A = this chain, B = another copy of it.
Amino acid sequence: MRLLLTSAIGFVLALTAFTFKPTRVIFFGDSITQAGVNSGGYIDRLKKVLPADQFELMGAGIGGNKIYDLFLRMDDDVLAKQPDVVVIWVGVNDVWHKATSGTGTDPDKFVKFYEAVIKKLQAANVRVVLCTPAAIGEKTDMTNQQDGDLNQYSQFIRDLSKKYNLPLVDLRKAFQEYDLKNNPENKDRGILTTDRVHLNDVGNQFVADQMQKVLTTAK
């Protein structure tokens, strides 16, 4: 038997003594999450700190994925595995692909597909955690090419978090605050990322810490 408590602020995963199965958490995302299951990746790091009898963590990340890729493959890759919790972390490619292949996601369509994913997960009694896209470039003076657009799409996700009363891991905000403190030379990579987007060791640990707070904090 599971007892679930949620609030507008936090996210409760309280497991009683009667629980026999750990909470199955699927991290659903793009290449960042695909790499997250590798040794030293953020999911790998979470596995080492979250008790295995309480949490079963699975990665479902595929490189290049946008929100509508998640929508298209959620039956096979997520719902078929009957997760208790799904952490959605997407958005970088929805913005980035506008410049790199002309196939980014329209703002209104981003929200529509994101809502469709949320609703379908909720209809399957899955608890949903949202994340904002962290970075395409780590410069702190708001001169990374996609900063404006990434801020816009992050705001969409924050709005969805409020609208559906869902826990949010605001990685965009967390990365910006971290970089402001730790990137005095205004470099575009190398603080939390290897290449402006994908996580280095510090970045993987940083994301694991952010995720852990939301997955375990009880209110």
B-chain residues with CB within 8 Å of residue A137 when the two chains form the complex: 148
Q: Give the chain B neighbours of A104 by CB distance below 8 A.
A: 102-103
Residues of chain A from 141 to 180 with CB closer than 8 A to chain B in the complex: 141-152, 155
For the complex, is A201 an interface residue (Cβ under 8 Å from B)?
Answer: no
* Residues of B close to A143: CB separation below 8 A: 148, 151-152, 155
Interface residues of A, count at CB 8 A: 31
A72 — which chain B residues lie within 8 A by C-beta?
A: 109, 112-113, 116
A68-B68, A100-B100, A106-B101 are contacts. A141–B155 as well, Cβ < 8 Å? yes
A105: interface (CB < 8 Å):
yes
Complex CA–CA separation, A98 to B105 (angstroms):
10
Is A99 an interface residue when CB atoms closer than 8 A count as contact?
Answer: yes
Q: Does A195 touch B at the CB level, under 8 Å?
A: no
Which single member of B141, B145, B151, B152 contacts A149 (CB below 8 Å)? B145
CB contact under 8 A between A98 and B102, given known A142-B148, A145-B149, A155-B141: yes
Known: A72-B116, A103-B109, A148-B150. 6 other contacts (CB 8 A): A69-B109, A99-B101, A103-B104, A103-B105, A103-B106, A145-B148
Counting from the closest, the 3 A-B pairs by CB-CB distance are A147-B148, A98-B102, A143-B152
Q: Can you list 19 A-B contacts (CB < 8 A)?
A: A72-B109, A99-B101, A99-B102, A100-B100, A100-B101, A101-B106, A102-B103, A103-B103, A103-B109, A141-B151, A142-B142, A142-B147, A143-B148, A143-B151, A146-B149, A147-B147, A147-B151, A148-B149, A148-B150
